[in-house]
Amino acid sequence: MDVRLAGIRFSYGAVEALRGVDLALAAGEQVALLGPNGAGKTTLTRLLVALRRPSAGRVTVGDWEVAHRRPDEMARRVGYVFQHADQQLFARSIEEDVAFGPRCLGLRRPRVGPVLEELGLAAVARLHPYDVPAPTRKLVALAGVLAMEPRVLVLDEPTAGLDRPQRDLVVEALRGRARDGVTVLAVSHDLGFVAEAADRVVVMREGRIAEDRPVRELLWDAPALRGLGLRPPATVEVSVALRLGGRPVRTAEVVEGMRGVKWRQAPE
Amino acid sequence: MTLRDLVLVRLGVALNLVIGQIVAALLLPVYLDSVGTILVAALVGPRAAITAGLVSQVLNAVISGNFSWLPFALVQVVIALYAAAAARLGLFRRLGTAVPAGVGMGFTAAACSAPISYFLFGGVTAGGVTAVTTVLRALGAPLGVAVAAASFSTDLLDKAIACALVCVVLRSLPRTLAARFPGLAR
Amino acid sequence: MIGYVPGASALHRAHPYTTLAAAAALLMGAFAMTGPLEVWVLVAAAAVFAAVGGVLRASARTALLLSLPVWVLLFVLHGLLGPDPRVAVGPVVLSAPGLARALVLGGRLAAIVLGFLTALAAVSPHRLVEAMTADGAPFGRAFLLASTLTVLPRMRERAARILEAQQCRGLRLRGSPLSRLKALVPLALPLVLGALAEVDEQVLALDARGAASGARRTALEPPRDSTWQRALRWTLLLFVVAAYAWKFWRLRR
Amino acid sequence: MTTLVTLERVSFGYPGAARPALTEVSLEVRPREVLLVTGPAGAGTSTLLLVATGFAPRVVGGTLGGVRRLAARRCGVVFARPWTQLTGLCSTVRDEVAFGPASLGLPRAAVLAAAARALEQLRVAHLADRDPSQLSGGELQRVVVAAALALEPDVLALDDPAAELDPEAADALYDALPSFAAGGTAVLLATPDLQRAARVATRVIGVADGRVVADGRPAEVLTGTDVALLARAADCPPPFPVDVSALLGRIAPDASRRGHDPSDAPPAGSGPDPGATAR
């Protein structure tokens, strides 16, 4: 579903957090939002679910004017995964907690089981959410949002604290949603994740959009990354070291580029 | 008290002071500002609960500036003792017993706070209670009756909901957390 | 203005126990006084206390803001609705004993609030903790006093996040009283469970840093106490005892 | 070399837990090592840190089996969330860092000296007079680590210490770990962030389902870094290279030419700085 922000301004008291933001996201697009702390990334994402109201400008999600909606109404279209989403769980089992959102929305046949399966949580479905490690709880919270079948997904640092297999599950889940036309917007510092799960990267600085580029362009632009205090992901580091062509960023692309490499045995 | 008890008391105090934020968002006509005290009574015991109640009262004063309410600390002590006794009797295990226990707690608390309110403050204390008192007094009820009626009507509902909520919390504790509190097993 | 105000007044420099003892004496004294005149003398004493601390104007303004609604209610509850005999004050006829009562109760409130606001403004939590440490007070006492206050902002922040998160999962905050009561569960439970789940980490962090070592903790900046300050604190105690003795002696007659 | 911690067939279960968190773990921790404990979520890495530092079962409860010998006088511990680890008693960073030594009742001068050293070591001396509650997460976590170091622990356990930090702050924290070890402290590290951990670890313990399944140098044991996973997917024979320089060392000279097409390569100067990648 299309998301459009036009001429957005927002202030916390005297501090202007957003100073004129225009951004359009198309259905099925996977976009990463980058920027230093305090650039306005989180504020921007909150506008999409009506948790904040802009002081100027318009936010639309599909044909909905967000200005006329409450957060619990926006939940029908926009799924928001909070940074510390592990702190929102409360039910006595993981599957019950995942079913909470769909139940609030009155979905008749919530797809709890498949979502748990997708995120590798089927084996722990009957456990109490606080009996699993915090990173797993984070996946539970993501499952809870996916089960609501949103048309737009907004995620704040979805991979912080996750290990690589868990991150790969998140990447796969997001790609699957995007193929179904879900718009995905993820705030993330984790460039390994961005490389896998974004086609486009929007960089914010001081309340404005500073850059808006295809992912392979930005991740191969080392000076730009250094300016953000970031190092290129391992996939790009390897590609540069091996002089692979075509600016690959995703694991599959790099592996493809490395095909035919002759390996030596490890030195003793 | 052990370090764990101290940290739990701090948690109870913070809960007492912060739960109002959630209650206000839901526009519920209660305070629930002793939920933390009751929880600590159930999880740790009477001594920790009394401490939580007293510290909450002092912090409330420090934050709001309403230091004249400090004498109501006595009510917090009574609530803590009642809650610890109710927990020991297992009344928080089911909603069916927790709610009546809460009503009883409301009675007890009001029976303590009404005289303090009457004798020390002439019936003028916290916002909601005072408004009810004034209306009743204007309708012709004697001051003592007005104060008592106002205190009881607000406290019964408040403590009944607070005890129900603590019951839900205790029932929702994951096994690994519950096992840290040997008192719960009783 | 509620809270510490940096400054260099005599109260700021005094030992924290002295300033707190003065505020406590005002509180205890206020409940001991029963006549309008005595109570308002105590209000004047509280004002002097605030002036010594250099925070008279700010404290008085806050105390007034806090007291004013109560004064109005006292006036209505006792002055208008109080018992006979009645006196005419300008155009209105008021209850004479009720008015006296309202003056006592209102003055009590003013003295207590003014006294504690001043103490709060003049005693930095840091110096109080240092004083208690130097005193060899048990760790728990200082911990509960200072630490509970510092966790509040984080707990509030967390409650706010939970409110937002559950709304984003479709939870409605409006509706019938029953549905709102039910909504308490998804909002309050994560707050409690999340906090309980962090207890272990907090205990470990404190334990690892020797909070339970049993040794007498070293005070880094112990506030200076003096003989005359100790004498002053004893005098305040005597004053409170005398005030209650006077009160009960009069009650018995 | 002395051994700070010895575990012999140690098992541990949390109170109320259905299964033990650790089963028959044997391990020796020696001074000056940065020991990475790694495994899938829930494998018991955090628990192993607590058992090896003596905090479990003493503080968290539970039952311990087997033989544990703790020669370490003092152990420190740091968790992911900096705000759970403040005492809440201290209104300046200096006081917060000094809290540990002060709690032991050391003389005032010694307390302040220890705090100053720790502040310097974490490069937070400039924050000494700030209120901890006003710091950013990254600054605060460095203060928390400094507070643990101020006690001069023999073993310092770090449980995903950079999970809440932005990449720059995380790099800074990991880069400081070898200096702790050089000072004689053994650093125990558990984290899913294998890329950063691989840069500093001197030894790796693999844990799965509460058991130690591997113990060796990073190059032998670490199979899950991003580079290792890439190499594995590209049919590299094990052991897999953990970082880019190791990867280059494993490639036969003529192979790197394949796939290289000058027209596709980034313009000079715009590609990532190869010097930085070999760090």
Give the pLDDT score at B125: 64
Cα-only R_g, chain D: 21
Query: Chain D partners of C138 at a C-beta cutoff of 8 Å?
Result: none
Mean pLDDT to the nearest integer, B128-138: 70
Angle among Cα C104, C107, C113 to the nearest 5 degrees reads 140
Domain membership of residue B38 as a residue range = 3-185
Gap from A93 CA to chain B (nearest CA, Å):
9
Among candidate residues D152, D184, D204, the one where a domain is terminated: D152
The total number of structural domains in chain D stands at: 2
pLDDT at A135 over 60: yes
Encoded tokens for B36: 């933390």
Strands D63-70 and D5-13: antiparallel
Which residue is listed with tokens 């002439």?
Answer: B122
Name the nearest CA neighbour of C95 among B150, D208, D127, B143.
B143
Give the pLDDT score at D97: 97
Please state the three-class secondary structure of chain A as a single string: CCEEEEEEEEEECCEEEEEEEEEEECCCCEEEEECCCCCCHHHHHHHCCCCCCCCEEEEEECCEEHHHCCHHHHCCCEEEECCCHHHHCCCCCHHHHHHHHHHHHCCCCCCHHHHHHHCCCHHHCCCCHHHCCHHHHHHHHHHHHHCCCCCEEEEECCCCCCCHHHHHHHHHHHHHHHHCCCEEEEECCCHHHHHHHCCEEEEEECCEEEEEEEHHHHHCCHHHHHHCCCCCCHHHHHHHHCCCCCCCCCHHHHHHHCCCCCECCCCC
8 Å CB contact of C167 and A148: no
**One domain, residues D160 and D146:** no
**One domain, residues D33 and D88:** no
Q: Which residue has the higher pLDDT, C107 or A267?
A: C107
**One domain, residues D125 and D104:** yes
**One domain, residues D145 and D163:** no
Per-residue pLDDT band at D124 (split at 50, 70, 90)? very high
**One domain, residues D132 and D19:** no
Touching chains, D (3+ CB pairs < 8 A)? A, B, C
Among candidate residues D206, D222, D238, the one where a domain is terminated: D222
**One domain, residues D40 and D54:** yes
Question: What are the angstrom distances between the C-alpha of C141 and each of A186, B51, B61, C133, C145?
Answer: 45, 10, 18, 10, 6
Gap from C159 CA to chain B (nearest CA, Å):
7
For D38, which residue in chain A has the nearest alpha carbon? A163
D166 within a domain of the structure (yes/no) = yes
Angle among Cα A215, A219, A223 to the nearest 5 degrees reads 135
D262 within a domain of the structure (yes/no) = no
8 Å CB contact of B133 and C77: yes
Among candidate residues D117, D152, D187, the one where a domain is terminated: D152
Mean pLDDT to the nearest integer, A245-264: 91
Reported for C40-49, long-range contacts at CB under 8 A and 24+ positions apart, including other chains, are C40/C103, C40/C107, C42/C107, C42/C111, C43/C107, C43/C110, C43/C111, C43/C114, C45/C111, C46/C110, C46/C111, C46/C112, C46/C114, C46/C115, C46/C118, C47/C114, C49/C11, C49/C22, C49/C23, C49/C114, C49/C115, C49/C118
Q: Which residues contact A26 (CB under 8 A, 6 or more apart)?
A: A2, A183
8 Å CB contact of C172 and A104: yes
8 Å CB contact of A51 and C168: yes
Encoded tokens for D90: 């201290």
pLDDT at D263 over 50: no
pLDDT tens-digit readout, A63-93: 999 999 999 999 999 999 999 888 899 999 9
- ipTM of the complex, rounded to two decimals: 0.91
8 Å CB contact of A241 and D271: no
Query: Chain D partners of A225 at a C-beta cutoff of 8 Å?
Result: 272
pLDDT at A207 over 80: yes
Gap from A102 CA to chain B (nearest CA, Å):
21
**One domain, residues D159 and D69:** yes
How far is residue D74's CA from residue B46's CA, in Å, rounded to a whole number?
34
For D136, which residue in chain A has the nearest alpha carbon? A37
**One domain, residues D70 and D184:** yes
**One domain, residues D147 and D11:** no
B185 CB near a chain C CB, below 8 Å?
no
What is the Cα C58 distance to its own chain's centre? 16
Gap from D274 CA to chain A (nearest CA, Å):
7
8 Å CB contact of A51 and C170: no
Query: Chain A partners of B25 at a C-beta cutoff of 8 Å?
Result: none
Encoded tokens for A56: 């100027």
How far is residue D75's CA from residue D217's CA, in Å, rounded to a whole number?
24
Cα-only R_g, chain A: 19
How far is residue C134's CA from residue C126's CA, in Å, rounded to a whole number?
12
Per-residue pLDDT band at D1 (split at 50, 70, 90)? low
**One domain, residues D159 and D144:** no
Q: Whole-model pTM? A: 0.92
pLDDT at C66 over 50: yes
pLDDT tens-digit readout, C115-174: 999 999 999 888 999 999 998 889 999 999 889 988 999 999 999 999 999 999 999 999
How far is residue D155's CA from residue D75's CA, in Å, rounded to a whole number?
5
Gap from D113 CA to chain A (nearest CA, Å):
33
| CATH (domain of D40) | 3.40.50.300
**One domain, residues D8 and D146:** no
| CATH (domain of B26) | 1.10.1760
The total number of structural domains in chain B stands at: 1
Mean pLDDT to the nearest integer, A143-160: 96
DSSP characters over B137-174? HHTT--HHHHHHHHHHHHHHHHHHHHHHHHHHHHHH--
How far is residue D267's CA from residue B29's CA, in Å, rounded to a whole number?
67
8 Å CB contact of D60 and C204: yes
What is the Cα D191 distance to its own chain's centre? 7
Asked if residues B128 and B113 have their Cβ atoms less than 8 Å apart, the reply is no
Q: Which of D254, D261, D272 is the closest to A237 by Cβ?
A: D272
**One domain, residues D184 and D201:** yes
D228 within a domain of the structure (yes/no) = no
Per the DSSP assignment, residues forming a β-bridge with A222 are none
Task: Tell me the CATH number for domain A3-77+150-257.
Answer: 3.40.50.300
How far is residue C236's CA from residue C14's CA, in Å, rounded to a whole number?
15
How far is residue C237's CA from residue A181's CA, in Å, rounded to a whole number?
75
Asked if residues A185 and A155 have their Cβ atoms less than 8 Å apart, the reply is yes
For C115, which residue in chain B has the nearest alpha carbon? B67
8 Å CB contact of B174 and A130: yes
Per the DSSP assignment, residues forming a β-bridge with A23 are A5
Give the domain ranges of chain A: 3-77+150-257
Domain membership of residue D140 as a residue range = 82-152
For B53, which residue in chain C has the nearest alpha carbon? C144
A79 CB near a chain C CB, below 8 Å?
yes
Q: Which residues contact C174 (CB under 8 A, 6 or more apart)?
A: B27, C180
Q: Indicate the Cα dihedral angle C18, C23, C28, C32, nearest 10°.
A: 110
